[in-house]
Amino acid sequence: MAVILTVVGIISYFFVSNILKENTYRQMNQTVLQASGRIDSLHHQIDQLSLQFMTNDVVQNSLTHIYLGNGLSLDERQNLRQIVNRFKVFNDGIREFDIYEINGNNLFPSLEPKLRDFIDEAIRQINLHEKR
């Protein structure tokens, strides 16, 4: 009797174990598909936002002034800020919106660190994470 119960227990264990593994595998695949879809959606949103932003006349004029070595006046910076804020309002997946000059200085928002400082910090964080 004990042998039969042991055999039935072992068979039940492997049967239930396989069912749990299959369910876990299906659930993980579903999660990956949903995350991938969200990333694809955000990527498309960023592409569309970038295209709309770069074809804006005010943005084009501001970036041309900067490229030619002319600074932006306070009014031009405020106009640029209004345009950025307008784009942020209509794009819920975008939380940050930075504009950098060719030399790496942050044009918008103007109080943030240089792009190089941001990249160096991100690399440092990655290296710290990999060492763990």
Structure confidence by residue, pLDDT tens digits, 6-31: 888 899 999 999 999 999 999 999 99
Classify residue 28 by its DSSP letter: H
Q: What is the pLDDT of residue 34?
A: 93
Confirm whether pTM is higher than 0.75: no
Sign of CA dihedral 13, 19, 25, 30: negative
Q: What is the dihedral of CA 119, 121, 122, 124, to 10 degrees?
A: 120
The residues of the chain scoring below 50 in pLDDT are none
Sign of CA dihedral 105, 108, 111, 114: negative
Classify residue 71 by its DSSP letter: P
Q: What is the pLDDT of residue 132?
A: 66
